[in-house]
Amino acid sequence: MASHRALLFDGPGLPLEIRQRPTPPVGPNQVLIRIQACGVNPVDWKTADLGWCVTQWPATMGCDGAGVIVAVGSDVTRVRVGDRVFMNGWMDNPDTCTFQEYALMEDSMVGKIPDFMPIQEASGISMASFTAFVGLFHETGAEVPLPPNARAHVPEDSFLNYNHMDTGASENYQWPPDLSKFGWCITVLGGSSSVGQFMIQYARIAGFRKILTTASPSNHAYLRTLGATHCFDRTATASDIAAIASPTTFQASAVGTNQPQSTEYTPLVFDAIGSTQTATMGVDILSCLTPVPMSRILVSPSVEDIPTVVEDVDYRGIYALVGALWDLSLPYFIGMEEWLAAGEIVPNRIQVVGTVEQAHEALAMSRRGVSGVKLVMTMP
């Protein structure tokens, strides 16, 4: 049986080593990708430390990756051998993980990389951008501004074609949803994080007129280029932010013509960090805003740090797994191909740490915390 090099470890906290693991056969609807670069996410060091999502030992890891297709299954028509693609591996299926030479993926769950884009930049796209995509469009019912080609691939029975009754979203939503219900305003806590940068860009192309964010001042200028309209230091108070996010201030600012009535306003905060501090800040901001007639929404990528329940704050955690959200994944990849090619969405700025042989250092850097960059490793 063929084998290839992979980053393996035998248990939580145990050394990460490059060893051989079997190269899987390619199924009819699958592609085999020679990974050339892989993005590092916080979930990777959490997996290394705690064994998160591991289903078998020795385990490998890595959700973000990009490379070249080297084999396709008999039924694959969407992509071909030689295409450069980015992908999102699933931790519970080691064949799809990206900290290894070859990764297996469904053909509908890869996105072609524009010719002009370096593979290292593309390798950090999928995890954070899919998380933001799910958070905004699945969890809130905000309208997905998919390009027509991507919209054509939305399955008939997808939630995207219905109202949001069965997705956990409020029954107050109607399809198509109207961003005036959010006051055309969204607050993204942690806009310089990988997830936050994509959230700001999706909010911009969705049509939000006011996009508030918190980040260190050194990142404010960059976040404005992505679409943020109001940047706050992380030390800003909830009332500072709510003063700008409130519908009264919005109406007074004379932005656009479709200004909401304050009674039709659902304050929306996206916590891109998922810490107790940011979740509490999100609740505090929402508590400053007038929540009638609908509830206030706090979306977060972490379901661990649910703050004290506040009446009318609807807390929605995200679990962004391309393999599980089948009706979103293909439209997401096709949409991203078009948005990236047109420059409407840009990848995170990257910092190349070294090769996957330096994974220990890359995970340590992620654990210590980064500022406004995506850590990337190359495959030697």
- Cα separation, 369 vs 199, in Å, equals 19
Q: Residue from 62, 274, 282, 291 that binds ligand NAP (CB under 6 A)? A: 274
Q: Of the two residues 83 and 327, which places its CB atom closer to ligand NAP in the complex?
A: 327
Residue from 113, 104, 98, 108 nearest 75 by CA: 108
Q: Compute the least distance from the CB of residue 189 to ligand NAP, in Å.
A: 6
Q: Residue from 66, 105, 119, 128 that binds ligand NAP (CB under 6 A)? A: 128
Q: Of the two residues 96 and 193, which places its CB atom closer to ligand NAP in the complex?
A: 193
Residues 6+ apart with CB under 8 A from 38: 62, 64, 65, 66, 98, 99, 123, 356, 376, 377, 379
Q: Compute the least distance from the CB of residue 254 to ligand NAP, in Å.
A: 29
Site string for ligand NAP, 210-239 (x = CB under 6 A): ----xxx--x--------------x-----
Measure the CA angle with vertex 269, ends 280 and 147; round to 5°: 150
Q: Residue from 60, 88, 120, 131 that binds ligand NAP (CB under 6 A)? A: 131
Contact in structure between 351 and 375 (CB atoms under 8 Å)? yes
The whole-angstrom distance between residue 144's C-alpha and the CA centroid of its chain comes to 14
Contact in structure between 43 and 63 (CB atoms under 8 Å)? yes
Q: Of the two residues 293 and 369, which places its CB atom closer to ligand NAP in the complex?
A: 369
- Cα separation, 165 vs 176, in Å, equals 13
Range 30-59, binding ligand NAP (CB under 6 A): 41-43
Beta-bridge mates of residue 270: 188, 299
Q: Of the two residues 19 and 224, which places its CB atom closer to ligand NAP in the complex?
A: 224
Residue 122 host element (H or E): helix 119-122
Q: Of the two residues 108 and 214, which places its CB atom closer to ligand NAP in the complex?
A: 214
Query: Taking contact as CB under 6 A, which single stretch among the options 104-112, 208-216, 257-265, 308-316 is the one that binds ligand NAP?
Result: 208-216
Site string for ligand NAP, 185-204 (x = CB under 6 A): ----xx-xxxx---------
Residue 89 engages ligand NAP in binding (rule: CB under 6 A): no
135, 140, 141, 145 alpha-carbon torsion, rounded to 10° = -50
Q: Residue from 161, 237, 258, 277 that binds ligand NAP (CB under 6 A)? A: 277
- Cα separation, 131 vs 336, in Å, equals 13
Q: Residue from 61, 273, 328, 345 that binds ligand NAP (CB under 6 A)? A: 273
- Cα separation, 88 vs 124, in Å, equals 9
Task: Determine the residue with CB nearest ligand NAP.
Answer: 371
Q: Is 123 helix (H, G, I), strand (E, B) or coil?
A: coil
Query: Taking contact as CB under 6 A, which single stretch among the options 92-100, 123-131, 307-315, 337-345 is the one that binds ligand NAP?
Result: 123-131
Q: Which residues bind ligand NAP (CB under 6 A)?
A: 41-43, 127-128, 131, 189-190, 192-195, 214-216, 219, 234, 272-275, 277-278, 301-302, 318-320, 370-372
